[in-house]
Chain A
Amino acid sequence: MEMMTETIIESIIEGLREIFPDAVQMEISADTTLGQMPEWDSMAAVNLQTYLLQQFDVEVPLELLSDETTLIEIITFLKSPVSSQMGAAAH
């Protein structure tokens, strides 16, 4: 079932706030890049990948989760046809 972009972005923001508790005062929007999150690094990327897998049942490639990636790019991936294949591959 296709999710609304706003629902997806709210869910991603919730995940980012969990992974980065230091981002408490930060405004996070669709244009925020992952590199703007405090202490963003490769392990944080793995944490975000896991969170996205749990929430959306899609294994987002780690290559996509870079410091210049915006939330809207993650959403674009999640809504793309290839993401359903990545969901199947994750099982």
Chain B
Amino acid sequence: MDHLAINEAFRDLNAAWMHDPSAWAQYCHAFNIAMQATVEEVAERLQQKARQALADNKGIEDQSIMVWINNIAWSSQHYHQVASQWLTDYVLRAPGMESDARRRALFWMHQILEMLAPANFFWTNPKAVRHFLNSKSKSLQQGLCQWLKDIHRSDRLPQMTDPTAFKVGENLAMTPGQVVYRNLLMEVIQYAPQTPSTWQVPMVLIQPWINKYYIFDLTPQNSLVRYLVQQGFTVFVTSWKNPTKEMAHCSFEDYMLHGALQAIVVARQICQIPRVHAAGYCIGGTLLACLSGYLAHEPERHPIADATLFATLIDFTDSGDLKAFVNHTSLKTVEQMVAAEGVLKSQHLSLAFRMLNPGDLIWRRMVTNYFYGESPARSDMLFWNSDGTNMAGAMCLFYLKSFYLENRLSQPNQLILGRRPIDLKQVRLPIYAVGALKDHICPWPATFQACRLTSGPVRYALANEGHITGIVNPPSPWSKKKYWAGAASRRRNPQRWLQDRAPAAGSWWPDWISWLSPRSGRKSTPPPMGSDKYPPLGPAPGIYVHE
């Protein structure tokens, strides 16, 4: 069965070309010519190399093997590059293809081309052969051991990071705090103040529940929580429970009402303040946008002072490469998985996310771990990336269908949550939205639509990074990063907005603090850790993060 509609994607591609057979024949002919030219170029270059080698008097036995391997690798890479370009164009130029179908075909073509890269095969990867010879075969032996370990893990993919290098609570998620609330869905962590006085208005961070909460509290130098606390904010974070089969019924609405809203209620009560800053990341931002629409029905009691949306889609029209996975066929597959297991298992999500960048996240790992026999990288972000969670069945199906397939949030009153129709035009909160220029998951022009769809003042910041590094973007004296920021209320055209801006050097975090501070009341004695109603239940990082 075609679970992910891969065959369908290529069927659509071929059908498009068959509408114009003469263009197809012409394009194939162009490939023959390009290949012939490449054959001649490769032959000429190899002859040059051979002449050079003779002139340099290189001919020792081991070296001659490597010369041969290098030549094979070089030629293969050359052919692969020409064929890749042609096949990519084959998809891009297919006449009259509908844009979603073209995107799907391009996505799957890219998967194949990445898989077939010569560096992924032993004899066309000179470093693999050299390591094998130099280590007297130990590199492959070590690689084999790593492979045997990997196939016994649930995702069966090459390990991305050294699992022993980090331990949550020991060298990650170390900012001191207390769990002050726990229900079946989440824990709320309150962080201890690190300044003599704190801003009156606290910050509530709504985490994406596709991975663990500590994306905002990685190593101290990469911790957004630590940065905010040191800027004088009282910070609360949701740490979601990793769903089990028993949580199959948990809905998106539950996440909104018993998750995000409850976290805000807790923060308000502890800080004794009517409104809080709220920030959501990715699906957490989508949830926050929905909650803002839900609460817009009673504006006089609105508990959110302003909202920050990190790499957040609220208009799913152009929702990135993930859309290649989401269609009616794959939704049926997910329905079957969820019916059997109650949840969408983390390994399926992990594979999907790794396929968004297969070169870096799958094939380079395979080569490094198995061919070179090297240990996986030591990276806090990759460690977090590998620490996935399941998705509760009801929530997952609703999210894929209502957002990715039907794009209901962007249409007034088409999404009903908590018995209230959601109309983002009724959201008049100040919004700080952040996009990332190289984000494949939430493309920045799509995240920019928050400016058009809501009615309050919007400031937009665009980081020159990807989905994770664009957000986990700490200021640093070594930073070569840049960002663009400015007012963007009701702007419709992201490219034109960008053209009007000059880039600023460094991290956008200080810009966000400058935006938050005037909205944060005055500075006063920090609130207590917890309250009578919400007493501390144990130290951060809590217990759900370990599940």
Option from A24, A47, A67 in Cβ contact (under 8 Å) with B364? A47
Q: Does B466 contact A (CB under 8 A)?
A: yes
| Cβ A68 vs Cβ B480 within 8 A | yes
Which residues of the other chain, A, contact B378 by a CB distance below 8 angstroms? Answer: 50, 53, 90
Q: Does B6 contact A (CB under 8 A)?
A: no
| Cβ B379 vs Cβ A50 within 8 A | yes
Which residues of the other chain, B, contact A69 by a CB distance below 8 angstroms? Answer: 480
Q: Tell me the bound Cα distance from A39 to B464 in angstroms.
A: 14
Which residues of the other chain, A, contact B476 by a CB distance below 8 angstroms? Answer: 61, 63-64
| Cβ B360 vs Cβ A63 within 8 A | no
| Cβ A24 vs Cβ B357 within 8 A | no
Count of A-B contacts judged by CB separation below 8 Å: 79
Q: A18-B127, A42-B438 are in contact. Are A24 and B479 (CB under 8 A)?
A: no
Q: Does B457 contact A (CB under 8 A)?
A: no
Q: Tell me the bound Cα distance from A22 to B482 in angstroms.
A: 26
Option from A19, A53, A73 in Cβ contact (under 8 Å) with B480? A73
B 334-368 contacts with A by CB, 8 A: 357, 359-361, 364
Q: Does B405 contact A (CB under 8 A)?
A: no
Q: A19-B364, A21-B119, A49-B379 are in contact. Are A43 and B464 (CB under 8 A)?
A: no
| Cβ A43 vs Cβ B466 within 8 A | yes
| Cβ B480 vs Cβ A66 within 8 A | yes
Q: Tell me the bound Cα distance from A66 to B381 in angstroms.
A: 16
| Cβ B360 vs Cβ A41 within 8 A | yes
Size category of the A interface is: 20 to 34
Contact digits for A15-58, partner B, Cβ 8 Å, 1 yes 0 no? 00011011011000000000000010111111101100110000
Contact digits for B195-228, partner A, Cβ 8 Å, 1 yes 0 no? 0000000000000000000000000010000000
B 366-395 contacts with A by CB, 8 A: 374, 377-379, 381-382
A79 CB, min distance to chain B CBs, angstroms: 14
| Cβ A64 vs Cβ B364 within 8 A | no
A71 CB, min distance to chain B CBs, angstroms: 13
| Cβ A39 vs Cβ B359 within 8 A | yes
Q: Tell me the bound Cα distance from A83 to B377 in angstroms.
A: 19
B 440-482 contacts with A by CB, 8 A: 464-470, 474, 476, 478-482
Q: Tell me the bound Cα distance from A41 to B78 in angstroms.
A: 23
| Cβ A42 vs Cβ B466 within 8 A | yes
Which residues of the other chain, A, contact B357 by a CB distance below 8 angstroms? Answer: 41, 43
Instruction: With CB as the reference atom, state the residue of chain A lying closest to B372.
Output: A18
Option from A46, A54, A63, A66 in Cβ contact (under 8 Å) with B379? A46
A-B pairs, top 7 by smallest CB distance, nearest first, are A42-B466, A66-B480, A50-B377, A43-B360, A42-B469, A21-B119, A63-B479
16 pairs from A and B in contact (CB 8 Å cutoff):
A18-B127, A42-B466, A42-B468, A43-B360, A43-B466, A44-B360, A46-B377, A47-B360, A49-B377, A50-B377, A50-B379, A62-B469, A63-B479, A64-B476, A64-B479, A65-B480
